[in-house]
Structure 1
Amino acid sequence: MVNDTRELPATSRDGMHRFLGGSPITVAFRLILLSILVGVVLAAIGFDPWNIVYSIRLLFQRIWNLGFDAINGLWRYFLLGAVIVVPVWLLSRLFGAPRGR
């Protein structure tokens, strides 16, 4: 038998297929598409591929600030609602019918 040097032996080809999870072309195509998708998402949240450390620090700083902005917003909603709810509750307790025990 003459061994053809252009093709890999079947066991080597099966091992590579199993390691990659598919044919090399298909895996490369999937990785390219996934990289583009992840790149779009990372760009949307402000990552810069040329300065990744600064981008990560900036992301955490924005998340930190967003958290405190959310607390500030909740506090303002609480105060706005309390202006109505607390007096109505107090009036209902003062002028409500007495309840027997």
Structure 2
Amino acid sequence: MPNDTRELPASNNDAVYRFLGGSPLAVAFRLILLSILVGIVLAAIGFDPWNILHSIQLLFRRIWDLGFDAVNWLWRYFLLGAVVVVPVWLLTRLFGAPRGR
């Protein structure tokens, strides 16, 4: 509309909200929650946070050693991950900021 005005440049508080995607406390809470959930999934796979490269190498070695049974093993981990990822995705869609057009 021609009579709409906006303060330029954006205030510091507005810039922080835009950069983070919300209030800093809410963003920190979401990041903490997502980190815990992803940590649970990675622990189920057998990853060690202190030696992540060795854990990844061990994961691929186990997949290789399992042969055709790896398909079943990967399917179980896919389902385990989906239990975490799908609700997180759904929550971010439901409680996320509205997208502009």
The CA RMSD measured in Å over matched residues stands at 1.6
> Per-residue deviation at 1:40?
0.2
Aligned to 1:93: none
- The runs of 5 or more residues in structure 2 that have no matched partner are 1-9, 71-101
Q: Report percent identity of matched pairs.
A: 70
Report the Cα distance in structure 1 between the residues aligned to 2:47 and 2:11, rounded to whole angstroms.
Answer: 43
Per the normalisation by structure 2, the TM-score is 0.56
Q: How many residues align?
A: 61
Per the normalisation by structure 1, the TM-score is 0.56
Report the Cα distance in structure 1 between the residues aligned to 2:68 and 2:18, rounded to whole angstroms.
Answer: 49
- The runs of 5 or more residues in structure 1 that have no matched partner are 1-9, 72-101
The one of the two structures with greater contact order (alpha-carbon pairs below 8 A, sep at least 6) is 2
Structure 1 stretches of at least 4 aligned residues deviating more than 2 Å after TM superposition:
none
> Per-residue deviation at 1:64?
1.4
Counterpart of 2:46 in structure 1: which amino acid? G
